Chain A
Amino acid sequence: MSEELTLIDSAKAGSVGAFTELVGRYRGGLLRFLITRCASVADAEDALQDTMINAYRYLASYDPRWRFSTWLYRIAIRNAAKQRRDGFAGIDDVADQGPDPLAMCIDASERENLWVTAKRVLNDDVYTAMWLRYVEDMSINDVAAVLERSGSWTKVNLMRARKALDAELNAPGTQSEAYG
């Protein structure tokens, strides 16, 4: 943590090297997350680039009381939303959007990837809450901060999302033996 703060201070002073080292540990996770949120892999890469630029530019506004990853994901979510808005603005037909990047980035498997299922049954915010909680291992408070929601909203919706996914996995016709 202190190492992270040292890197933040150096980056604030204008060191690109320190910033690159700082965000290096989050970059892969961020791109994976953005792929699930954007319309294409190229959009996800653009959103990652914008996230890095915005984070570097406005690093002075980072509040060290929060985890750095919380702040970074908050920026990433805004950039993903912006990418989607810009993407939809230039597309007249929904069918022109191309294949789901999430499906493209998953190897063929006997069963459906749970995040594809989650994308189908959960709304955006709840999906993001699930990702941050169970993939990024964020606390409820951090998830709430990223989503700008209350802690109780986050807790309740995470519980509902788990129930929804459970129901989906145990529904007749699904490959329940693959679950677990």
Chain B
Amino acid sequence: MDKLTRRLRDDASQIRADVSPELDARIRASLEAVEPVNAESPKPAPRTPSMWWWSSLVGATSAIAVIVLLNLGTQPELPVPTENGVPTLAPSLNIERAVLTAPLEAELENLESDLRKAEEALRADIGLDRRAEDTPDGS
């Protein structure tokens, strides 16, 4: 132990600090009046690995959706051929409409086509049934 350390200890021991019986009684009385707080608070349930997968998936999907939406709003204006063959810049509103509605129109056409086919199939079925009812022997 070096000189400074020894002197620090010696000088600390010269500081009078006696816990008087009054202070002792006061502390004890205070402790009797206090209830220990139970730290056994319910812990949150541990997260399962599938939850991490789901949260990652949701996060990635949200990020992709944001990127797509941002890119849709900033698409460059496409040159549109005019009657004299010189391409001109069309207003962004028309471009957006063309980009957004084209797939919907295709879908609509497909749906209408499906509907027509279903209707024809139904009619054919009904026609066969009627023909079957018309012939008494069922042939």
Question: CA separation between A57 and B38, bound complex, in Å?
Answer: 9
Closest chain A residue to B11 by CB distance?
Answer: A114
Residues on B with beta carbons closer than 8 Å to the beta carbon of A7:
none
Main secondary structure of the interface of B (DSSP, over half): helix
- Pairwise interchain contact A49-B18, C-beta atoms closer than 8 A: no
- Size bin of chain B's contact surface: 20 to 34
A19, A32, A45: which contacts B12 (Cβ < 8 A)?
Answer: A32
Residue total for A at the interface (Cβ-Cβ under 8 A): 43
Chain A positions 21-56 with a Cβ under 8 Å from a chain B Cβ: 27-29, 31-32, 35-36, 44-45, 48-49, 52-53, 56
Question: CA separation between A28 and B11, bound complex, in Å?
Answer: 15
- Pairwise interchain contact B8-A58, C-beta atoms closer than 8 A: no
Question: CA separation between A29 and B17, bound complex, in Å?
Answer: 8
A180 at the interface (CB under 8 A from B): yes
B28 at the interface (CB under 8 A from A): yes
Question: CA separation between A59 and B26, bound complex, in Å?
Answer: 20
- Pairwise interchain contact A56-B14, C-beta atoms closer than 8 A: no
Question: CA separation between A56 and B34, bound complex, in Å?
Answer: 8
A49, A107, A114: which contacts B8 (Cβ < 8 A)?
Answer: A114
- Pairwise interchain contact B17-A35, C-beta atoms closer than 8 A: yes
Question: CA separation between A35 and B16, bound complex, in Å?
Answer: 9
B102 at the interface (CB under 8 A from A): no
- Contact mask for chain B residues 1-13; partner A; CB cutoff 8 A; 1 contact, 0 none: 0011111110110
Residues on B with beta carbons closer than 8 Å to the beta carbon of A12:
36
Question: CA separation between A112 and B4, bound complex, in Å?
Answer: 14
Closest chain B residue to A107 by CB distance?
Answer: B14
Question: CA separation between A58 and B40, bound complex, in Å?
Answer: 11
- Pairwise interchain contact B39-A60, C-beta atoms closer than 8 A: yes
Question: CA separation between A106 and B14, bound complex, in Å?
Answer: 6
CB distance from B30 to the nearest CB of A (A): 5
Question: CA separation between A105 and B11, bound complex, in Å?
Answer: 11
CB distance from A46 to the nearest CB of B (A): 10
Task: List chain B positions with a Cβ less than 8 A from chain A.
Answer: 3-9, 11-12, 14-19, 23, 26-28, 30-32, 34-40
